[in-house]
Amino acid sequence: MKIKMKPITRRQFFKTVAGSVVSFAALLASAPRAFAEKFFHEPPWLTKSPYWGMAIAVDNCIGCGKCVEACKTENDVPRQPYFFRTWVERYMIHRSGETKVESPNGGMDGFPPIKKSGDMMRSFFVPKMCNHCENSPCEQVCPVGASFRTQDGVVLIDRKYCIGCRYCIQACPYGCRYFHPKLHVADKCTLCYHRITRGLKPACVEACPNGARIFGDLSNPESPVSKFIENNTVQVLKPAMGTRPKLVYRGLDREVR
Amino acid sequence: MKDIQHILRMAGVFVVVISGFLLVRHLLVPASFGLYGHYRAAAIDDIKALPISFVGQKECAKCHGPRVQEKNKGGHRNLGCETCHGALAAHAAAPAKSRPVRVAEKDMRAFCERCHAASFSRPAKFPQINPDAHNPGAACNSCHNPHSPRL
Amino acid sequence: MDPLMNELAEALNKVVGFIYPNEVELQWSILIVLYPYITGLVAGAFILASLERVFNVEAVRPTYRLSLLTALSFLIIAPLPLNVHLGQPQRAYEIFMTPHFSSAMAMFGFVYAWYLSAVLLLEVWFDYRKEIVMWSQTEKVWHKRIFYKVLTLGVTNISPASLKIDDKIGRAITVVGLPSAVLLHGYVGFIFGSVKANPWWSTPLMPVIFLFSAMASGIAAVMLLYMFLTWARGKAIDMLCIDTIGKFLLTAVIISFTLEMLETIQKAYEAQEHFDILALLMEGKLYLSMIVVQGIMGALIPMFLLGLVQLVKLPDNVRKTFYSAASVLILIGIFAMRWNVVIGGQFFSKSLMGFTTYKMALAGREGLFSAVVIAVLPFIILSVLLYLLPPWKDEGRSGKGGVA
């Protein structure tokens, strides 16, 4: 295959090169600001109200599992130990460097009490649930639009539209989704959307006896969750994933995944 | 023209199939799809309409005012009624038909130990007892009033 | 008791370390292993076909039509494992009605539709049109005659001018078909490679790895089919043809193996947080299927066999044996690779702290029997296609097709 070339004059050539250099330079000069604007994610709750958020105080969790039980009751979650919208993990950190983690039946029946023994250094409970990410991969991969985020910030599943491909379950880095064994669609925490849109709190927040779970409207600076974020050092799970979780933690240990 | 007639016919087949697809699509896509984003907006209403099981203590206070007030003065003030008495929406709607959970005496020990048995995993500042040393076997409510637990 | 709950109870017992409670159940089963395998065969077979058409590798001409029909047979079946696996298969049409453009799975639906209609079906049609018109007039068996008549679209013109146009268009379609085949299977690779939540899957190399291993499996499949069918027809195997195919097969296996090694070595070198559990995965649960079956049996031994053929002059029957053996090993090895990616990626917890198990059911929608049936169907379709559209021009048309 021969490529035909049109002859051009030296003058035309230099004009073209100069023009390209100038436009490229202009592009580069504008790039830093364009970049900065592109990569700054303005919090949606500055313009959208209400915008629901959630926080967990790890150092308040006593591992009673009432939240897990309440969630299953409120949301008719299958009772077997393979399906959870929320669960509690127990971490036991030893001086030897070994960290043991467990979540028997998701923590729904509580945890057997343990004494400080051997080389055990620290032990604590970490409640987990859907992080309602601002850049949620579960929403990104859904092929039909059954996984979506509402205008008030909650990531939901349309049960009547989900085709049950399970891609979203694969895409969630936090393991918070499961496949409903009876409905044959994907399922997960809805932040008790049917409750919070009626002025109630999510069932897990309602059930928690020690204030480990905090819920509220991020667009209201006086709400419990906004105050929590203002007054505490907060972390999120797996920040490097870029999911921008809306669930924040206080007291997340380095061992927690 | 004669030599490309078959190509035109095949192109026609494609046009028919694609038009058919677009027509079917127009008929099958749910009406509320795309209203707020790439999803069926009516799903939000579906989810909002789900039934509620936990009502919250404000509802309990409507009939059990003094009890709720008593609880809110004591150590269990941060617990909802339903944390111990189970989901109460059904009871609030039909108090005689649907009865709340009332922990039996024989189960009291295990029930309270669920939160209060001393465990290294619990925050140290949380009130906990050693079940083997703390009146072993005795039902907790033989000394403690669950709605005002401090002695 | 519910078989699913029994299965999950067993799996829960076998959990090692810590997994998120929802991870006891493996989400994607053997059917999802089968699906990239099948689309891989499509891409591989098609690329072999395009070698002749686009790159003028005359030597592989005897396999041109067979490659196309093989690709078509497997492509028709490709969506079947997906649909059978869906929780709500009756809603599968939604992928075409409201595709979510950010979803690789949704966009694959359109890539598939494009490839099936605009590339494969059209290419087969343009290539066969002359015979189809002739057969529509001379065929004695009535159902075959109707089939041909429908395919002519009512146009019986096979003048040299029209055939020249057909050839030009066919060539153009193959040229477009090459990147389309790359897109088809590359997309399947991307469906896995873009899942950042899973460190076993997440890599930019995944589409490329899938593509080259697909090429190896597709070329191996056509090689075997050609050798088998030629023997079944009582004809002599064209040695130049399979020698050439063998060269391409060796190239595909070398590139595929190199990419996979690069992936593994880089992961080991970078030693990111997730590497520890992946190393445990490779040393433990995946040792047999990955190191032994995929690596040694499926790549190293075929490379040795095919490489020896290039280095040492070997008699015809030895080469035939080597090609057959290498092709069988490659087909098994590439299946193992799909297994290692799909199932392997679900063995370890995203907490990076534990493992679950997969016990493949025998019966049921997602069981082994179901997978075997789905795997056999393309061959049934292929025999029907060989019957209706015999690939070898020297064959008589009515009744026999391409098989003695």
Is C92 within a domain?
A: yes
pLDDT at residue B49, as a whole number: 97
User: Is pLDDT of A24 > 90?
Assistant: no
CB contact under 8 A, B6 and C93: no
Contacts of A85 in chain C (CB under 8 A): none
pLDDT digits (tens, 9 = 90+) for B127-145: 999 999 999 989 999 999 9
Q: Is the ipTM of this complex over 0.90?
A: yes
CB contact under 8 A, A158 and B39: yes
Closest CA to A71 of A174, A178, A185, A208: A208
With beta carbons less than 8 A apart as the criterion, state whether A146 and A162 touch: yes
* Over residues C282-291, mean pLDDT: 96
Is C284 within a domain?
A: no
User: Is pLDDT of C140 > 80?
Assistant: yes
Band of the pLDDT at B21, cuts 50, 70, 90?
very high
Band of the pLDDT at C223, cuts 50, 70, 90?
very high
CA distance C154 to A78: 59
Structural domain range at position A49: 44-136+163-250
Task: Give chains near A: 3+ CB pairs under 8 A.
Answer: B, C
Backbone φ, ψ for residue A101 (5° rounding): -125, 140
User: Could you tell me the CATH number of the domain that includes residue A95?
Assistant: 3.30.70.20
Is C37 within a domain?
A: yes
Q: Give which of C7, C20, C190, C365 to mutate to test A binding, by max A Cβ within 10 Å.
A: C20
Backbone φ, ψ for residue A155 (5° rounding): -90, 120
Point out the residue among B3, B33, B34 whose CB comes nearest to the CB of C165: B3
* Over residues C332-356, mean pLDDT: 97
Is A112 within a domain?
A: yes
Lowest-confidence pick of A60-64, A183-187, C40-44: C40-44
User: Could you tell me the CATH number of the domain that includes residue C72?
Assistant: 1.20.1630
Is C20 within a domain?
A: no
Lowest-confidence pick of B26-35, C115-124, C358-367: C358-367
CA distance C279 to A95: 25
CATH 1.10.287 applies to domain B52-102: yes
With beta carbons less than 8 A apart as the criterion, state whether A111 and B121 touch: yes
Point out the residue among B7, B13, B33 whose CB comes nearest to the CB of C98: B33
Closest CA to A220 of A205, A230, A210: A230
* Over residues C199-218, mean pLDDT: 96
CA distance A84 to A97: 30
CB distance from A137 to chain C under 8 Å?
A: yes
Band of the pLDDT at A10, cuts 50, 70, 90?
confident
More confident residue, C403 or C352: C352
Band of the pLDDT at C386, cuts 50, 70, 90?
very high
Of the spans A101-110, C57-66, C178-187, which averages the highest pLDDT? A101-110
Point out the residue among C87, C102, C352 whose CB comes nearest to the CB of A184: C87
CB contact under 8 A, B39 and A146: yes
pLDDT at residue A3, as a whole number: 60
Band of the pLDDT at C398, cuts 50, 70, 90?
very low
Contacts of C25 in chain A (CB under 8 A): 82, 178-179
B43 to chain C, closest Cα gap in Å: 15
CB contact under 8 A, B120 and A197: no
Is A7 within a domain?
A: no
Reduced to 3 states, what is the DSSP secondary structure of residue A196? helix
Q: What percent of chain C lies above the pLDDT cut of 70?
A: 97
Buried (b) or exposed (e) across C19-41, using 16+ Cβ within 10 A? bbbbbbbbbbbbbbbbbbbbbbb
* Over residues C345-359, mean pLDDT: 96
Is C256 within a domain?
A: no
Residue of chain A with shortest Cα separation from B77: A209
Q: Give which of B39, B81, B130 to mutate to test A binding, by max A Cβ within 10 Å.
A: B39
Point out the residue among C101, C155, C169 whose CB comes nearest to the CB of B5: C155
pLDDT at residue C44, as a whole number: 92
Is A154 within a domain?
A: no
Mean confidence (pLDDT) of chain C: 93
pLDDT digits (tens, 9 = 90+) for C299-308: 999 999 999 9
Is C40 within a domain?
A: yes
pLDDT at residue A33, as a whole number: 61
Residue of chain A with shortest Cα separation from C87: A164
Closest CA to C332 of C181, C189, C224, C203: C224
Structural domain range at position C131: 31-249+364-388
CB contact under 8 A, A111 and B121: yes
User: Is pLDDT of A1 > 60?
Assistant: no
Please state the domain count of chain C: 1
Please state the domain count of chain A: 1
pLDDT at residue C332, as a whole number: 97
pLDDT at residue A36, as a whole number: 62
pLDDT digits (tens, 9 = 90+) for A74-129: 999 999 999 999 999 999 999 999 999 999 999 999 999 999 999 999 999 999 99
pLDDT at residue C53, as a whole number: 83
Band of the pLDDT at C396, cuts 50, 70, 90?
very low
User: Is pLDDT of A200 > 70?
Assistant: yes
Closest CA to C42 of C172, C187, C169, C233: C187
Q: Look at strands A99-102 and A247-250 and give their pairing.
A: unpaired
pLDDT at residue C1, as a whole number: 64
Q: Give which of C127, C162, C168 to mutate to test B binding, by max B Cβ within 10 Å.
A: C162
Mean confidence (pLDDT) of chain B: 95
Break chain B into its structural domains and give their ranges.
Answer: 52-102, 103-151
Band of the pLDDT at B151, cuts 50, 70, 90?
confident
pLDDT at residue B3, as a whole number: 85
* Over residues A148-163, mean pLDDT: 97
More confident residue, C402 or C339: C339
Contacts of B30 in chain A (CB under 8 A): 161
Closest CA to C8 of B71, A77, A181, A229: A181
* Residue A164 one-letter amino acid: G
Q: Give which of A79, A93, A131, A165 to mutate to test C binding, by max C Cβ within 10 Å.
A: A165
| Angle in degrees, CA A206, A162, C106, rounded to 5 | 130
Q: What percent of chain A lies above the pLDDT cut of 70?
A: 95
Lowest-confidence pick of A36-45, A173-182, B9-18, C269-278: A36-45
* Residue A95 one-letter amino acid: R
Band of the pLDDT at C404, cuts 50, 70, 90?
very low
pLDDT at residue C402, as a whole number: 39
Residue of chain C with shortest Cα separation from A177: C22
CB contact under 8 A, B56 and A74: no
User: Is pLDDT of C393 > 90?
Assistant: no
Is A33 within a domain?
A: no
CB contact under 8 A, C197 and A173: yes
pLDDT digits (tens, 9 = 90+) for C81-103: 999 999 999 999 999 999 999 99
Point out the residue among A81, A128, A162 whose CB comes nearest to the CB of C88: A162
Band of the pLDDT at C394, cuts 50, 70, 90?
low
Point out the residue among C97, C101, C153 whose CB comes nearest to the CB of B29: C97
pLDDT at residue C397, as a whole number: 38
* Over residues C244-271, mean pLDDT: 96
* Over residues C377-394, mean pLDDT: 91
Residue of chain A with shortest Cα separation from C98: A144
* Over residues B88-101, mean pLDDT: 95
- DSSP H helices, C118-238, are 122-138, 142-151, 160-193, 206-232
Contacts of B2 in chain C (CB under 8 A): 157, 159, 162
